[in-house]
Structure 1
Amino acid sequence: MAKVQRIGIIGSGGIAAAHVRAYKQLPDVEIVAVADVIPGKAAQFVTNQELQEAIGYDDHRKLLELDLDGVSICTPNASHHVTTVDALRAGKNVLLEKPMSVTLEEAIDMAQVADETGNMLTIGFQPRYDPNMKVVNDIVQSGKLGKVYYVETGGGRRRGMPGGTFISKQLAGAGAMADIGCYSLDMALNALGYPKPLTVSAYTSNYFGTNPIHHPEANKFEVEDFGVALVRFENDVVLQFKISWAMHMDTLGSTMFLGTEGGLKVNPYGTGNWSGVWDGRVGEMKLFHDFMGKQTETPIPVTNTDMNLFFEKVRDFSEAVRDGRPAPIPGSQIVIQQAIIDGVLRSSAAKREVAIELPF
C-alpha cells in the first residue's frame, strides 16, 4: 500500500482553495495543516474546506514543525521568500505559486537554499501541462525553425485588473508582469531552453489602474498595468515582451518564433475582456516555411482537451515527491524569468537599457 503523503498549505486565500481541490483528488494525499498570518483565518479555512483532520495555525513556522512531505505556498508575493526558505530549511519540499518572488535577490537566495538543502522547489506554472504548449516546445527545440533569432510574446486583456494585494508594490513587487506576464515569459523561455538574458530596455505605465473610471482602488494602485521590453540573450536571440491588464485594444497579438528555416505563430485562446493571456490553453497554431521552393503555411492541429491543468500541476508535484524525481519546474530555472522582470522595472525607472547580472 502506498504511503500517504502529508501536505501542508501556507496561505489560505483563493488560490489555496484551488490547491485543496486538487489534493483532494489524489487518493494517497492528506492535507494535515494550514497556516495563515491573519489570526483565525487558517482555522476558518480548514472548516470551510471540510479538512476535518487538519490543524489551522497562525504562524507558518509552527506548521513546519510537523512531519510533512511537502507544502504548497499560496501567500501574497511578498511572503514567498521567507516562507519558502523556512520550508526548505525545515526539510520540506515546496510547490510555490507564481511569481517566484518580489525581487531578483530573493529568487537567487531561494534557489540557492533549495540546492544547499537538497529539497525540492518547484514553481506553479500550470500552462506547461497543456499538450499544445508541449507541441510548441517540440517544434522550437526540434530544429525545424533553424536558428531562432527573434521571439515575440506577451498577453493583453482589454479589461482585467485585479485589486487588493495585486496592486500593492510592497506586497506584489510588480503588477501585470508578475501576475500574467510571467506566463508569457515561461511559454517563450521554456521553448528556448531558458537562455541567459544580458540586457533589457523597457517601458511601463499604469494609466488605467490609477484612473478611478477604470479601477475602484485607483488611489491605492502602485504597480504597472502595462509593460513592454526588448530582451537580449547570450545566444544572439532577442525577445519582445509586452503585457497589459487593460487597454483600448482587443489583443496584443500572437506569440511568434522567427527562425532561419521557419516561423511558428501561436494565437491566444478565447475571446472577451479577460482572454488573450497565456495562463492556460492556446488557440490556432501555424508553421510558416518553404517547401519545394514555395512559401508554405502548415496548420498545426490543436488538441482540444478538458484536462484540468491546475490539477496536473499539483499531481506532478506530489508524484515527484513520492518518486524522488527532480522539481518539475525548478526554481533555479525561474530565477532567469525573475531577472527579466527585475530588469524591466529597473530599465523603466531609469528610462534606459540596463544590464542583467546573474551569479551563474
Structure 2
Amino acid sequence: MGEFERHSTFFSGFLNSHYLREKDKHIYKKETPLYKFNIIGAGMIGHEHIKATMLEGRATVHGIYDPNQKSVKEALHMIEESFPGHVVHVYDDLKAACEDSDVDGLIICTPNYTHKEIVEEAMKSGKHILLEKPMATTLKDAWIIQQWAESYQNVFQIGLQYRYKALYQEALYEARERNSIGNIKTMMMTEHRLPFLDKVEQWNKFSELSGGTLIEKCCHYFDLLNLFANAKPFSVYATGGNAINFKDFQYEGKKADILDHANVIIIYENGIHASFNLCMFSPLFHEDLTLCGDRGRLYGYENEDFLPYHKPSTHLEVLCGESAPAKITNPCYPETIQNSGHNGGTYYEHRAFVDAIAGEKTKAATPAEGFWSIAVASAADESIQSGKVVNMREFLDRQLS
C-alpha cells in the first residue's frame, strides 16, 4: 500500500465520500486498526494523545485510566464529541489498564512525579510504552528508568515531540542532513511564553512534583540542542529566578517554588557553544532557534501572539552568503495535523511509535536522549543554586553514585 493510500483516511475528511457504498470505497475504505492503546492519564496531554492516536489511524484508543474521576468524565465527553460512537474501556486501577491482554501499547501522560512508579508497573506487562516527557522529576530516577528501558524487549519511546514540529524537522534536515550551514559553531534558543497553565492539584507549580521549570518545560529545548550539537554536554552555567509568576501562590498551604526565567549556557564536548533563554511572563507563545556554522546561518521561529491580523506562525531562513542559495520558508503541516497538538509534533510522534511497533527504525526520542535532556536541565538548576559552572562528568558522577 502506498504512502497516500495508507493515510487516505486523513484526506477523506476534506472530501465528500458519503455518496459511496462501502463496497465502492478503496481510497476511503476504513481499515481495521492494527493496534490498541490504553491512555494512562486523562488530562490535557491525555486528550492530545487520544486525538493523535485516532487521527493517525493505524491504532485506536482502547481504554483510559485516571484516578481523577472528573478527568475521566471530561475525556469521555471529548471522545464522544470528536469520535461519535467510539467506545472506550474505563479501568478502575492501573494494574488492570496495564495488563489488559487486548491492548498492545500504553501511553503514559500522568503528572511527572508519578512516572517512575507507573513505568515500573507498565513494564511488567511487556507492552510497548510511550512515556511523556520529562521521563522523571530527578536525574537519578531518569537514570533508573533508562537502565530499565535498555533491557526492555519492546518499544520504549520518550515523548519529546518538539523534534517532530515542522520547524525543527526542517531545521534538522538543513543543518544535519544537508549540512547547509557547514559545521555548527554556536546555537541559541529562546522560549517566551505565558505562565504555567492550570493542572489537576496544580502539580506544575511545585518543583518536588514537576522536577522544576527547566526539567518540566525546557527538556524539549535541551533535547533539540543536544540533537543539533550531536555531542554530549561538557559544562553548563545558568542564572535564573522567580521574578513575577506565582510569587504569592499557595495550594493547600504549600507555596509555589518554580522558576519563571533563566539563561543557560552549554558547552559541548565537540566545542559547540549553546545558549537558551527562558521567560515565562510574556504575553505570547514564541520560540526561536539560531544556528551559526562555518558556511552560513540558520534562523527560525514559531509564534502565536493572539493578535487579530494574519501572518505565518512559523518562519525558517537559511543564509549562506555568496556560497549557496538562500532559503526562506514557512514550515507547516496540513491544518488538521497542525492543530491536533504541539503544532503537529504529537501526531508525527505517534506515527513514529506505530512505525517502531511495526519494526521500522525511527528518529523518535530514546530513553537515553530523554535522560540527557534532563541531565542538562538538572545541571542548570544546580548552577543557578551554586552560582558556579557545572562540569557534567563530575556532576553525573556525584548525582548517580
Q: TM-score, normalised by structure 1?
A: 0.83
Distance 1:298 1:46 in 2: 46
Aligned residue in 2 for 1:277: none
Letter in 2 for 1:289: C
More divergent stretch after superposition (4-13 vs 71-80): 4-13
2:376 corresponds, among 325, 340, 347, to: 340
Aligned residue in 2 for 1:209: 245
Letter in 2 for 1:125: L
- Report matched runs for 1:73-152 at 5 Å: 73-141=108-176, 142-152=178-188
Change (3 A) 1:133 1:239: same
Change (3 A) 1:356 1:272: farther
Distance 2:144 2:328 in 1: 40
Aligned residue in 2 for 1:189: 226
Letter in 2 for 1:64: C
Aligned residue in 1 for 2:364: 328
Change (3 A) 1:70 1:237: same
The answer as to whether partners of 1:46 and 1:52 remain within 8 angstroms in 2 is no
Q: Residue 251 of structure 1: CA displacement?
A: 8.6
Aligned residue in 2 for 1:165: 203
Q: Residue 210 of structure 1: CA displacement?
A: 3.4
Distance 1:349 1:75 in 2: 28
Distance 1:250 1:229 in 2: 21
Aligned residue in 2 for 1:233: 268
Change (3 A) 1:216 1:272: farther
Distance 2:72 2:298 in 1: 49
Answer with 1 or 2: which has the greater Rg. Answer: 2
Q: Residue 272 of structure 1: CA displacement?
A: 4.4
Letter in 2 for 1:137: L
Q: Residue 169 of structure 1: CA displacement?
A: 1.6
SS of residue paired to 1:199: strand
**Structure 1 gap ranges (5+):** 274-280
Stretches (4+) displaced over 6 A:
215-219, 249-253
More divergent stretch after superposition (82-91 vs 102-111): 82-91
SS of residue paired to 2:187: strand
Aligned residue in 2 for 1:220: 255
Q: Residue 229 of structure 1: CA displacement?
A: 1.0
1:69 corresponds, among 101, 104, 124, to: 104
SS of residue paired to 2:265: strand
Q: Residue 69 of structure 1: CA displacement?
A: 1.1
Q: Residue 185 of structure 1: CA displacement?
A: 2.5
Letter in 2 for 1:186: D
Change (3 A) 1:12 1:303: closer
Q: TM-score, normalised by structure 2?
A: 0.75
Distance 2:377 2:351 in 1: 28
Q: C-alpha deviations, 1:121-175, integer Å up to 9, x for none? A: 2122333333432221122113332221211112112x33324121122211112
Q: Residue 59 of structure 1: CA displacement?
A: 2.7
**Structure 2 residue 329 is matched with structure 1 residue 301:** yes
2:316 corresponds, among 276, 285, 307, to: 285
Aligned pair count?
343
Aligned residue in 2 for 1:5: 35
Compare the two structures and name the one with the higher helix fraction.
2
The answer as to whether partners of 1:69 and 1:321 remain within 8 angstroms in 2 is no
**Structure 2 residue 73 is matched with structure 1 residue 44:** yes
Q: C-alpha deviations, 1:183-239, integer Å up to 9, x for none? A: 32233322333x211211111211212345xx7979732111111111111111111
Aligned residue in 1 for 2:7: none
The answer as to whether partners of 1:132 and 1:282 remain within 8 angstroms in 2 is no
Distance 2:296 2:58 in 1: 46
SS of residue paired to 1:203: strand
The answer as to whether partners of 2:167 and 2:301 remain within 8 angstroms in 1 is no
The answer as to whether partners of 1:133 and 1:282 remain within 8 angstroms in 2 is no
Q: C-alpha deviations, 1:4-45, integer Å up to 9, x for none? A: 41211111212112222222335453433322234x457635
